Chains A and B, each alone.
Chain A
Amino acid sequence: MLKVAVVRFPGSNCDEDALRAAELVGCEAFYVWHRETSLKGAEVVLLPGGFSYGDYLRSGAIARFSPVMQAVSEHARAGGAVVGICNGFQILCEAHLLPGALMRNAGLSFVSKPVDLVVERTGTVFTSAFTKGARVRVPVAHGEGRFVADADTLAMLEGEGRVVVRYAPAGPGVEGNPNGSVNDIAGIANAAGTVVGLMPHPERCVDAKLGSDAGLPFFHSIAAIAAGAAR
């Protein structure tokens, strides 16, 4: 059974949803406290959403120096799967495991609503269960989700196909980019597709009884990683 660690920081608040989503697709999921230095044999690391350390200084800026992040970095550099959702994405950027940064939403407001995404890259640990170009409606809930990167980094991300999900263009019934992210970027990956960060919350829509299970394919993608293969 694939082992999935959900890292808990002080201020994480999507940890239980992330754990349950991983369990729903048949993974063995467990929590790892931010002060731990070992991932306890996990093959996949999930950095959940929330407000680690109260978002003090910058979102993710302090969490990135938590003891556990050393182990997460080593896991990522060894080719292990790491997925950061919302605050987890902010932490991955602060930790330089993904390029760019997430700044205050262009409209200044905290945005909490469903958004429509286009899956641009399926060759990642979090999107392999999608077909390229698939549309999926998933909630966002963030105040600092505007992805920015310098021109060279942006050209590299686009040129190497490392944009994983993009906000769908505005149209009938579709509101479009909710935060002013450059190139409508909602999520990116490292070159290998083993480290993925995204602002939307697929773990919040994994059960049709609670409104939607549109986020399940993200977790089926994780479950599709063969146990032992991601280390």
Chain B
Amino acid sequence: MTYRVHVRVMPRGGLLDPQGQAVAHALAALGFQGASDVRVGRAIELSVTAASRDEAEARARQMCDRLLANPVTEDYLVQVEED
């Protein structure tokens, strides 16, 4: 079974996110009112072949822990759907 895995990696809350700040300033400069607390992360999609949805999610989490996210600075969210 092949599953489509969506990984969202975000800078950990509390850490300075200069990209998010710059985007917030740009939005304000464009006249978008009321946009605040902007944070910029990264989305990764991949197909994972596994026996079950749980196994696909477990393997995706291992990938995040080892490579896709830095545990010192980032948090991640894994979503799995049938391909």
Contacts and interface: CB of A to CB of B under 8 A. Distances in A.
A71 interface: no
Nearest to A146: B16
Main secondary structure, interface of A, reads loop
B19 interface: yes
A101 B70 contact: yes
Contacts of A103: 11, 15-16, 73
A149 B71 CA distance: 11
Size class of the contact patch on chain B? 10 to 19
A100 B12 CA distance: 13
A149 B72 contact: yes
B18 A57 contact: no
A61 interface: yes
Interface stretch (A12-20, A75-83, A104-112, A169-177): A104-112
Contacts of A104: 18-19
Interface residues of A, number: 21
B68 interface: yes
Contacts of A146: 16
A189 B25 CA distance: 37
A106 B72 contact: no
A149 B18 CA distance: 17
Interface in B46-67: 67
B22 interface: yes
Contacts of B22: 108
A149 B19 CA distance: 19
Interface in A24-73: 57-58, 61-62, 65
A94 B16 contact: no
B16 A150 contact: no
Contacts of B19: 104, 108
Interface of A: 57-58, 61-62, 65, 93-94, 99-101, 103-108, 146, 148-150, 180
10 smallest beta-carbon distances between A and B, as pairs:
A101-B72, A108-B18, A101-B73, A104-B18, A101-B70, A106-B18, A108-B22, A58-B70, A103-B73, A106-B16
